[in-house]
């Protein structure tokens, strides 16, 4: 999507908490919204692919292992799409969607930054509390990932919040793109790039 909007993809970083595409600025909030939705949307065709594999596995004899793998892949892709897109916690895609929608609606950038980061911090604290409970009370060793995701969200959202409180949110990459687009196309109003 970034290439389609005329920006460049500098690199793709894969790490234990997922992937991150380092790319040039999309043109305004509509561009940010399209890029943020496009990432999690890639899980939808992958889920259908694994659904087709599940159908083949169930049709064949002795393919029980293949059916289990395909079913788990379907659930994983649906879960990742929903988690990344529907959870409005910056820097997840849902938080980027929230920031873009607030900007499209004409909200002042520092206020949008405070709302975006504040929402993410509340969600991250909830995830952290759940992760600690699951790790120490329920004894689930996988809850450490929940704790790591929560710390990742907290760290990034705190940076955004600090800039918003200082009135410098346009220095943050999430809002700098909108500021750059408004400077480049001042005659087009609040958001120059349209749907």
**pLDDT (tens digit per residue) in 46-62:** 999 999 999 988 887 76
Neighbours of 23 (CB within 10 A): 17
pLDDT at 128: 97
Neighbours of 111 (CB within 10 A): 12
pLDDT tens digit string along 115-130? 999 999 999 999 999 9
pLDDT at 191: 45
pLDDT at 32: 83
* Band of pLDDT at residue 176, cut at 50, 70 and 90: confident
The average confidence (pLDDT) of the chain is 84
189 vs 45, residue with greater confidence: 45
pLDDT at 27: 64
Task: Please name every residue paired with 118 in a beta bridge, in sequence order, or none if there are none.
Answer: none
Using alpha carbons, select from 167, 190, 161 the residue that is nearest to residue 178.
190
What are residue 18's phi and psi, to 5 degrees? 130, -160
What would the mean pLDDT of 22-43 be, rounded to a whole number? 78
Using alpha carbons, select from 186, 107, 187, 122 the residue that is nearest to residue 157.
122
* Band of pLDDT at residue 14, cut at 50, 70 and 90: low
* Band of pLDDT at residue 153, cut at 50, 70 and 90: very high
pLDDT at 192: 45
| Cβ(61)–Cβ(121) below 8 Å | no
pLDDT at 158: 96
* Band of pLDDT at residue 179, cut at 50, 70 and 90: low
pLDDT at 65: 87
pLDDT at 35: 84
* Angle (CA) 98 16 170, round 5°: 35
What percent of the chain has a predicted confidence (pLDDT) above 90? Answer: 56
pLDDT at 22: 55
């Amino acid at each position: 999507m970034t290439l389609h909007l005329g920006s460049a993809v500098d690199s793709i970083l894969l790490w234990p908490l997922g992937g991150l595409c380092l790319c040039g600025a999309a043109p305004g909030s509509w561009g940010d919204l399209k890029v943020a939705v496009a990432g999690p949307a890639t899980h939808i065709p992958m889920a259908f692919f694994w659904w087709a594999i599940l159908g083949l596995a169930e049709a064949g004899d002795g393919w029980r292992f293949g059916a289990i793998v395909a079913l788990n892949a379907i659930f994983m892709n649906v879960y990742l799409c929903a988690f990344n897109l529907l959870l409005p916690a910056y820097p997840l895609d849902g938080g980027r969607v929230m920031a873009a929608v607030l900007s499209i609606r004409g909200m002042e950038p520092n206020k949008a930054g405070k709302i975006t980061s504040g929402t993410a911090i509340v969600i991250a604290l909830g995830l952290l509390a759940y992760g600690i409970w699951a790790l120490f009370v329920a004894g689930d060793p996988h809850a450490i990932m929940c704790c790591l995701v929560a710390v990742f969200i907290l760290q990034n959202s705190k940076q955004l919040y600090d800039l918003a409180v200082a009135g410098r949110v346009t220095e943050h990459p999430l809002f700098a793109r909108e500021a750059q687009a408004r400077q480049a196309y001042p005659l087009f109003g609040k958001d120059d790039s349209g749907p």
